[in-house]
């Protein structure tokens, strides 16, 4: 009887001790977290003034949607830094123009490939061709995108499928194709040109905002996955610009130009490359658009008031519709031969 009682008391003491240890460990972990958190914030603040930049000279950079708009500007800016460029687009003519511009601006070499990003098998086939003909990709920039600008019920099923294929799932397939080599060398950089609509939706943007939010979640999760696997050498950058003056958004208007201006595409191209060189995790344009995320703390009426004030109901009222560029038939493979390169 006495033995049972002693055993019971020991067990109870042991439980209490374990619980106390658990609490102490948790408190210590929180203190460590707070110290590191403030240290990293301070470090980031100091590095804003003395930031070392990545050297991209001689690096192999793949840009999707390079034939026009933001993709072309990114390519030209990287060309100035002496990168080797691989340009993917469905629009062959535009892509050749970008290649000429990149070459004229100092690219070490430029390779163009026709690739329809709606098609997984084509992405894999062109990726294999790139690895054979050029080598492993150091920086992958998923930029290509489409915008339908229709209300949810006006969108055809095929519209929604295309938006998700080009703006989101293409990122899965390109990363799947090029990430293994990056992991093997513990070096590489994945970049996604997303949009502010990943942070807040808008009228006539159901498919587009969904595709961008998905692309955001995809790359952020992949970043965490790389960290969890100890692959600190693999960087990620998620770019969220507000509207930019490209053909993608012809006719789109901003209600508050002083707060949310429509950006010049040249400026956006420079800012994106600057973010890549500084290995930023997020590039948000304008930077204070990050505060949009605070919407989840607001009451319903305030959220709708906010959306109306910033024009999220009417931005696309005068949208002139999608640009059709080099649309391939669903079956064409469309890989350009190697003689379409510019060294
Ligand atoms: N323009 C803006 O206001 C804005 C704002 C935020 C984010 N973005 C994003 O920036 C990226 C670039 O947009 P942009 O404004 O330069 O548009 P853009 O229309 O000028 O360029 C998009 C490019 O993607 C290519 N593309 C489209 N479908 C393709 C497919 N199936 N296969 C291969 N290539 C395809 C087009 O041919 C084009 O060259 C997009 O992801 C877009 O969503 C644009």
Tens of pLDDT along 39-56?
Answer: 999 988 888 887 778 999
pLDDT of residue 51: 75
What local confidence, expressed as pLDDT, does residue 333 receive? 33
Q: Which pLDDT score, from 0 to 100, does residue 330 have?
A: 37
Atom of ligand 1 nearest to the CA of 117: 32
Cis peptide bond upstream of 286, omega within 30: yes
Determine the pLDDT at residue 326: 62
State whether the beta carbon of 71 lies less than 6 angstroms from ligand 1: yes
Cβ within 8 Å of residue 134, ≥6 positions away: 60, 84, 86, 109, 111
Q: Classify residue 333: in a domain, yes or no.
A: no
Question: How buried is residue 258: exposed, middle or buried, by Cβ count under 10 Å (0-12/13-18/19+)?
Answer: exposed
Residues 233, 264: one domain? yes
Q: How far is CA 312 from the centre of its chain?
A: 22
What confidence score (pLDDT) does residue 47 get? 82
Nearest Cα neighbor of 113 from 139, 136, 133 is 133
Q: Return the pLDDT at 253.
A: 92
Pairing of strands 234-241, 84-89: unpaired
Residue 208 catalytic? Answer: yes
Please indicate, yes or no, whether residues 97 and 221 belong to a single structural domain of this protein: yes
pLDDT, position 327: 55
**pLDDT beneath 50: ranges in the chain:** 328-343
Q: Are 117 and 38 in contact (CB under 8 A)?
A: no
The answer on 292 and 234 residing in a single domain is: yes
My answer on whether 66 and 28 are in the same domain is no
Q: In the structure, how many helices (H) and strands (E) does the chain have?
A: 9, 8
Residue 334 lies in a domain: no
Instruction: Assess whether the C-beta atom of 137 lies below 6 angstroms from ligand 1.
Output: no
Domain boundary among 28, 48, 68: 48
Q: Is 23 found in the same domain as 113?
A: no
Same domain, residue pair 77 and 21 = no
293, 180: one domain: yes
What pLDDT does residue 320 have?
Answer: 87
DSSP H or E stretch at residue 268 = helix 265-277
CATH assignment at residue 248: 3.40.50.720
Please tell me the total count of domains within the chain: 2
Query: Taking every pair of C-alpha atoms in the chain, what is the biggest distance, in angstroms?
Result: 93
Residues 13 and 113 reside in one and the same domain: no
With 0-12 / 13-18 / 19 or more C-beta atoms within 10 angstroms meaning exposed / middle / buried, residue 38 is exposed
Q: Are residues 22 and 170 in the same domain?
A: no
Q: 166 in ligand 1 pocket by Cβ < 6 Å?
A: yes
> Which of the following is catalytic: 111, 113, 208, 243?
208
């Amino acid at each position: 009887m006495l033995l049972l009682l002693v055993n019971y008391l020991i067990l109870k003491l042991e439980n209490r001790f374990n619980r106390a240890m658990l609490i102490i460990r948790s408190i210590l972990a929180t203190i460590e977290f707070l110290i590191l958190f403030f240290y990293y914030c301070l470090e980031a603040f100091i590095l804003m003034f003395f930031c070392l930049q990545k050297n991209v000279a001689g690096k192999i950079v793949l840009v999707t949607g390079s034939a026009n708009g933001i993709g072309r500007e990114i390519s030209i800016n990287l060309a100035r830094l002496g990168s080797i460029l691989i340009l993917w687009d469905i629009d062959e003519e535009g892509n050749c123009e970008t290649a000429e511009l990149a070459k004229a601006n100092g690219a070490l070499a430029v390779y163009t490939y026709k690739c329809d990003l709606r098609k997984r098998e084509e992405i894999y086939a062109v990726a294999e061709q790139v690895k054979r003909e050029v080598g492993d990709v150091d920086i992958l920039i998923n930029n290509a995108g489409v915008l339908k600008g229709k209300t949810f019920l006006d969108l055809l099923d095929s519209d929604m499928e295309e938006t998700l294929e080009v703006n989101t799932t293409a990122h899965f397939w390109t990363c799947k194709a090029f990430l293994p080599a990056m992991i093997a060398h513990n070096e590489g950089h994945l970049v996604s040109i997303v949009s502010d609509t990943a942070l807040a939706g808008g009228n006539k943007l159901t498919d587009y905002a969904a595709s961008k939010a998905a692309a955001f979640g995809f790359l952020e999760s992949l970043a965490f996955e790389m960290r969890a696997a100890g692959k600190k050498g693999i960087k990620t950058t998620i770019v969220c610009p507000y509207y930019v003056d490209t053909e993608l958004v012809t006719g789109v208007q901003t209600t508050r130009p002083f707060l949310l201006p429509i950006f010049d595409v040249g400026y956006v191209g420079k800012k994106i490359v600057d973010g890549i060189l500084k290995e930023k995790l997020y590039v948000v344009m304008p930077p204070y658009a990050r505060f949009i995320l605070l919407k989840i703390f607001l009451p319903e009426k305030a959220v709708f008031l906010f959306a109306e004030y910033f024009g999220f109901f009417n931005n696309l009222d005068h949208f002139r519709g999608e640009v059709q560029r080099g649309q391939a038939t669903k079956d064409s493979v469309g890989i350009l031969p190697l003689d379409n390169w510019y060294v």
